[in-house]
Amino acid sequence: MEWFIIIPFMFALFALNMRIYLAMFAAVLIYFLAFAQMPIQIAVQRLIAPTQNSSLLAIPFFILLGTLLGTTGIATRLLKVADLLVGRLTGGLGHTNVMLSTLMGGLSASNLADAAMMCRMLVPDMIRQGYSRGTAAAITAASSLITPILPPGIALIIYGLVADVSIGHMFIAGILPGLTCSALLLITVYFVARKRGYKPSRTAAPTLTETRSTVISAWPAIFLIVLIIGGIRFGIFTPTEAGAVATVITLLIGLFVYREMKLSDLTSAFGTTARQTASVLLVIMMSSALGWIFSVERAGVMLADWIMSLTQNPWLFLAAINILLLVLGMFIEGNALLIILVPLLKPVVVQLGIDPVHFGIVMILNLAIGTLTPPVGTVMLMVCALTKTQFAEFLREGWPFLLALVLALILVTFIPALSLALI
């Protein structure tokens, strides 16, 4: 059990703000140098092995797809559709913010990219219409959490790879939980807007002519959503193929249909995609080595035996995991936790008879909520920086939306059909 020391050592490096992949690499290196009775070359093999998985190609495709949305004109058209659907409700721009994140969740794979886009597109208008800066920032941050739950979220791909479950099943399983988050956030926006006196963003119902022109203008974006989700659901594409096809179509839309994309936008998108893909891939490589260590040392089996000695009730286990992940998510980046904990917890999940797909959605929603909580909530920090909002104001205005997301987590945890009904 001496090898177990690498886990607190790794978390200590996280707390010291070391880059995630470097902290994980340090833990792997210490294991092979201090505890393993095997050559160091095996460590290199364990690091390289995951890069041979062709399913990883889905990650750069969907990152590029999300990056291109803001420059092709697709996001702008979806914004008009969202306003058409919910603009007349009390607090119309807040509802539009949530609805746009829901629509974008079928295209964008990153909650950070989604939140950054919303900060530019909607927050200034929300402030001009009387929203407090903290409320506008909180709605934007909370609604961006719909993105990693709905397909094609990067977290869904990573969990599928680490847990060895179908990425296609993970994509489909995220639809109803994502829509549940959206519905609860819309309800919360309504009550907050009603209390604060926020007005609708439009006073009159859309005319038939306006509705027709808006839908016709946005049809390429709607087509992309149907293409990705429908193609995977009916087995027309693998997730990787869906990402490739959707990216090519997005480029064609930006260059030849809307004609809003410039060559400089394309160059910037490729550069951003390369950096983000490299960052994700480095973490996956390190996690593969860690997962192999956990397997060799039978860490997951030992954890399963210990948990089974405490309880064999799957609902108590899920409740305990929710509390643990919500606490850990306050201090450690979500993808790192996902990659570290899944190899340890999967044997427990299997023994308790919990569907791994359902458990994956529960984990991802948990860790998404962690991006809104201090001190290291990545979405919270970025939105506050982009909107020039004080952390105290963000937390004061954001608690109703955080509460709505926690309620969504409870529903998803204890109603497995929300995750599994469409599979």
Per-residue pLDDT, 108: 62
Highest mean pLDDT among 39-43, 180-184, 199-203: 180-184
Query: Rounded to an integer, what is the distance from CA 377 to the centroid of its chain?
Result: 13
Spell out the long-range contacts of 15-23 with Cβ–Cβ below 8 A and sequence spacing 24 or more.
Answer: 15/331, 20/283, 20/286, 20/333, 20/335, 20/336, 21/279, 21/282, 21/283, 21/285, 21/286
Per-residue pLDDT, 179: 94
> Is residue 275 over pLDDT 70?
yes
- Helix 314-328 vs helix 334-351: crossing angle, to nearest 10: 170
- Mean pLDDT computed over 74-84: 85
In this predicted model, what pLDDT tens digit does every residue of 137-152 receive, in sequence order? 999 999 988 988 988 8
> Is residue 106 over pLDDT 70?
no
Percent of the chain having pLDDT more than 70?
97
> Is residue 84 over pLDDT 70?
yes
> Is residue 109 over pLDDT 80?
no
422 Cβ contact list (under 8 Å, min separation 6)? 172, 173, 175, 176, 233
pLDDT tier at 318 (50, 70, 90 boundaries)?
very high
Tokens of 326: 């919500």
Per-residue pLDDT, 2: 65
- Average pLDDT, rounded, for the chain: 85
- Mean pLDDT computed over 6-30: 82
Neighbours of 233 (CB within 10 A): 16
Better-predicted residue by pLDDT, 92 or 331: 92
Per-residue pLDDT, 33: 84
Rg (CA), the chain: 22
Per-residue pLDDT, 366: 92
> Is residue 333 over pLDDT 80?
no
Neighbours of 164 (CB within 10 A): 11
In this predicted model, what pLDDT tens digit does every residue of 116-175 receive, in sequence order? 778 887 888 899 888 999 999 999 999 988 988 988 888 898 899 888 899 889 989 999
In this predicted model, what pLDDT tens digit does every residue of 212-224 receive, in sequence order? 888 888 888 788 8
Better-predicted residue by pLDDT, 253 or 2: 253
Domain range annotation of the chain: 2-420
Per-residue pLDDT, 107: 64
Tokens of 221: 């974006």
- Cβ-contact 250, 69 below 8 angstroms: yes
> Is residue 115 over pLDDT 90?
no
Q: How far apart are alpha carbons 192 and 397 in whole angstroms?
A: 10
In this predicted model, what pLDDT tens digit does every residue of 223-251 receive, in sequence order? 887 888 788 778 788 888 888 888 888 88
> Is residue 70 over pLDDT 90?
no
Q: Is 215 exposed, middle or buried (0-12, 13-18, 19+ CB in 10 A)?
A: middle
What one-letter code names the amino acid at 99? M
> Is residue 399 over pLDDT 90?
yes
> Is residue 188 over pLDDT 90?
yes
Better-predicted residue by pLDDT, 374 or 421: 421
Percent of the chain having pLDDT more than 90?
23
> Is residue 405 over pLDDT 90?
yes
pLDDT tier at 418 (50, 70, 90 boundaries)?
very high
> Is residue 419 over pLDDT 90?
yes
> Is residue 267 over pLDDT 90?
no
